[in-house]
Structure formats: C-alpha cells, structure tokens
C-alpha cells in the first residue's frame, strides 16, 4: 500500500498539486456497494464487488503492497491461470496482468515470493519491490509429481514462518473402497492411498525440484483439505477437512438419507507433525461428538472408532465444503475478530434430497490459538436467495479468502469469478 501511495504522489505532483489530494482520496476511500454486493453481513460491515474476473477464482492472496493475485481453476481465454489485480478507485481493483499457463487452486504470497499450485506441481515467482512478478517467464518449480486423479485434486498451499510450505494432497476416493462410491463396496485394508495422498505434505519453500521423496508426510488420514492456514499465535497448522460423502447411498441399511445429510461433520483440525486424523477408517458425528467407525471398515453407525486418532478442533455442518481458512490479524474489524478464523464454505451437493447448505463465510472465534465458542455465519447469501441455496443452484460460491493490507476481507468466487471485499465502517 505504501509504495503504491508514494507512486501516486510522485506521479500526481508531476501533474498538479490539487490532483494529488484527489488521487490520495480515491486510493484510500473504500465505498461499499449500496446493496453490500448482495451479501448479508453483521451490523457495521459493508461489502463491494472489488472486481469481476470472469474466471473460476479459487484461492486469492494480497501482497504487502496491496496487489491481489487470483488462482484460476483453469486457464482463461488468454491461456493464463493466475491474475494480478491492481487497486483502482473506491476500493475496487482491476485485472492488470496475468501469468502462468496452468489451472489449479493454491496461491500464497510473502513480501518476496508468490507461490502457486497446479493440481500436480507447486511453483514460485520472485516478486519485485512493488509486489509484481519481476519476470513472468521465470517460474521456479519447487515441487512436482504430486498425485492427481481428478477427485480431490486441489493442491492448496500455505507457509509457516520457518520457510516450510504445506501442500494438501487429497485422497482420490470417498472412503478407500475397493470400488469407489459403489454401494456396499468394502474398504481396502490398510488403505494404500495414504502412501501418496490423503494428507498434508511438508516441503521447503526455497528448494527447487522437490518430489515426494524430498518432502515429509506431515499429517495423514485427511480425506481432502482445501482450506488451510498457519496460526501464528499457536504457531501451528490448521486445516479444514471435507468429510466423506454418501453414507446412505452406499450403506442404505445403516443410514437414512436424512442422517446422511447431517453426517459427518466438516472438521477443523489443529495439526502437529505425525498426526493422523483417521480417514478412511472413521467419520465424525457432530451430534454425539464422537469419532465413529466407517461402514466400509465394519462400522454400523453405532460403533465408535478405535485407534489413536486426532480429535477435531471444531466441527461444522456436513457436506458444506470448507474451501478456505484464514486467520484474521487485521485491525479494521472489531476486536473480537482478531486472531479468529474465517472459513469460506463452498456449499454442499451431497445433502440431496435434503436442502443444500453452505455458500457462506463463517467466523470461528479463537482464544489463545484454539477455537473458542460457537461459530457464526458472517457473510451469507452468496447464493442470491435462500431458495437458490436450498436447491444447490447458487449464483456464487465462496472459495478463497485473503486479508487486505487495510484489514479488509477479500472473498473469491469460483462460479462467476467475483472478487468481494468486506469492510468494517465505523458508523
């Protein structure tokens, strides 16, 4: 932000003194849309459509200078998979550049580097002092050869403060059945998927050409993590798992469709190296607050899971697909939000024939680096109406989260490509 401002100053002084003030004002002022971009927000908050990218905007990151990078699920018409957006007037931004020829999900930035992932590889790009990719042609591959069998393909990424990068490698199955998603098909013994997927892998962020052998399986038994973030207070990685699907479809004698819509919870885990969250052997029942044996592995809806598996840190409604996790460290929002978690729920499909759910951003309060108290729906109505949400036909699907330099919350949408900006306006 600072350098953008000084650029403005220089430029403007060259033109005329009076324009300087205008430029400054335009840059600083963030104007919420009259309808808050269609979102329902807590009192005192406003929202605007910061930009329309027209692409499937997966994850998003903001550099210290206020440039926004958006990872597209697949390359746009120009063949580019990463968009760079520059702030314009009134809090909005516009696409000002594009790099990378691959689709994917993960994107992350530090002051020095932009990191991005395809569904198989992780790249980095050197950023200049303005936060721009200095040499777009010069991408450095830091990790390659990660497994991609389409299902749970997103290689979401985040970094810790010690130069490690964490990569989700989702399990390419629902519950490690002999025949995936087939009714009555049993679980494969000692699930072999876990060797190369179904967990979080740790690599060095500054080493090129790493493969599986150079990394560490940091945590396992995680079916698919799309949202993850490093919690600075706890100095710990937190992840959001997409829980298993189809309990009733595949085990109709054990689960009704109603039960299947509410089971299992989407879980938040606080990870330590070596943790095992138990997929595919167990699922988490939020009503009983218990880890239950999966029916593919002899469970019957009543049997608790045995074995030493990680307890979730928090639980959320089934199938709502948490696609982004962000610990808020800004000062724009009121005190209660500081160091708490925002979670973008992409929205469900596997609750049918029950009404679908999700398509919102949740706030989870934290205290001393741990979830504290109940979550609340923070930004709702990305779907456009309750009917569209219930029908699973939303207008927008929140997928990525990022914190702006001023503490605004950016939300990306991978259905229409809208970039939202949520601000707190003291009134």
Q: Which two tokens stand for residue 219?
A: 């945590």
With residue 43 as reference, give the H or E element that holds it: none
Which 249-278 residues touch another protein, going by CB under 8 A?
Answer: 249
Nearer to another protein, 160 or 249 (CB): 249
What whole-number distance in Å separates Cα of residue 87 and Cα of residue 98? 15
Q: Is 296 in the site for another protein (CB under 8 A)?
A: no
Q: Does 71 bind another protein (CB under 8 A)?
A: no
Query: Which 132-151 positions form the footprint of another protein (CB under 8 A)?
Result: 149-151
- Distance in Å, CB of 355 to another protein, minimum: 11
Interhelix angle for 17-28 vs 2-15, to 10°? 150
| Beta-carbon-side half-sphere exposure of residue 401 (alpha carbons within 13 Å) | 28
**Pairing state of beta strands 216-220 and 275-276?**
parallel
> Of 299, 392, 398, 400, which one interacts with another protein (CB under 8 A)?
392
Smallest gap, in angstroms, from Cβ of residue 180 to another protein?
5
**Binding residue count for another protein, defined by CB under 8 A:** 24
| Residue 214 DSSP symbol | G
CB distance 299 to 250 below 8 Å: no
Tell me whether the omega of the peptide bond preceding residue 286 falls within 30 degrees of 0, making it cis: no
Q: What DSSP element (H or E) covers 85?
A: strand 82-87
CB of residue 296 to another protein, shortest distance in Å: 13
Report the residue number, 87 or 104, with the smaller CB distance to another protein. Answer: 104
Minimum Å gap between C-beta 74 and another protein is: 8
Please say which residue, 185 or 196, places its beta carbon nearer to another protein: 185
> Position of tokens 């063949």?
79
Separation CA 351–CA 245 (nearest Å): 9
Point out which residues pair with 409 in neighbouring strands: 403, 422
Query: Contacts with another protein in 333-352 (CB under 8 A)?
Result: 349-350, 352
Stretch that binds another protein, among 107-115, 197-205, 327-335, 391-399 (CB under 8 A): 391-399
Nearer to another protein, 56 or 86 (CB): 56
User: Residue numbers of the site for another protein (CB under 8 A)?
Assistant: 56, 73, 149-153, 174, 179-183, 246, 249, 349-350, 352-353, 391-393, 397, 415
């Amino acid at each position: 932000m600072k350098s953008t401002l000084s650029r403005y100053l220089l430029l403007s002084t060259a033109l005329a003194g009076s324009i300087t003030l205008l430029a400054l004002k335009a840059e600083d002022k963030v104007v919420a849309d009259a309808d808050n971009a269609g979102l329902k927000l807590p009192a005192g908050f406003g929202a605007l459509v910061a930009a329309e990218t027209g692409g499937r905007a997966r994850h998003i990151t903001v550099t210290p200078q206020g440039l926004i990078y958006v990872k597209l699920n697949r390359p746009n018409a120009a063949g580019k998979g990463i968009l760079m957006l520059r702030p314009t007037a009134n809090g909005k931004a516009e696409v000002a550049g594009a790099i990378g020829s691959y689709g994917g999900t993960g994107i992350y930035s530090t002051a020095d580097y932009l990191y991005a992932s395809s569904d198989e590889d992780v790249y980095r790009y050197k950023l200049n002092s303005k936060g721009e990719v200095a040499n777009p042609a010069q991408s450095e591959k830091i990790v390659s050869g990660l497994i991609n069998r389409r299902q749970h393909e997103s290689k979401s990424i985040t970094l810790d403060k010690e130069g490690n990068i964490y990569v989700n490698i989702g399990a390419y199955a629902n519950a490690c059945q002999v025949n995936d998603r087939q009714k009555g098909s049993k679980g494969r013994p000692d699930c072999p998927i876990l060797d190369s997927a179904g967990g979080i892998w740790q690599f060095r962020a500054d080493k090129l050409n790493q493969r599986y052998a150079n990394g560490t399986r940091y945590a396992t038994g995680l079916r698919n993590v799309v949202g993850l973030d490093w919690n600075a207070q706890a100095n710990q990685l937190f992840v959001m798992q997409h829980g298993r699907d189809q309990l009733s479809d595949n085990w109709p004698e054990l689960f009704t469709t109603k039960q299947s819509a509410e089971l299992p919870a989407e879980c938040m885990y606080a990870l330590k190296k070596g943790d095992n969250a138990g997929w595919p052997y167990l699922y988490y029942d939020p009503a009983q607050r218990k880890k239950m044996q999966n029916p593919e592995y002899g469970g019957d809806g009543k049997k608790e899971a045995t074995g030493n598996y990680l307890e979730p840190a928090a639980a959320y409604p089934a199938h709502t697909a948490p696609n982004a996790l962000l610990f808020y460290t800004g000062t724009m929002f009121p005190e209660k939000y500081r160091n708490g978690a925002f979670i973008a729920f992409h929205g469900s499909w596997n609750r049918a024939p029950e009404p679908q759910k999700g398509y919102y951003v949740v706030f989870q309060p934290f205290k001393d680096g741990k979830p504290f108290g109940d979550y609340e729906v923070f930004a709702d109505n990305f779907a456009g109406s309750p009917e569209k949400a219930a029908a699973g036909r939303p207008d927008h699907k929140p997928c990525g989260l990022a914190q702006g330099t001023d503490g605004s919350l950016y939300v990306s949408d991978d259905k229409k490509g809208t970039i939202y900006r949520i601000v707190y306006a003291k009134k």
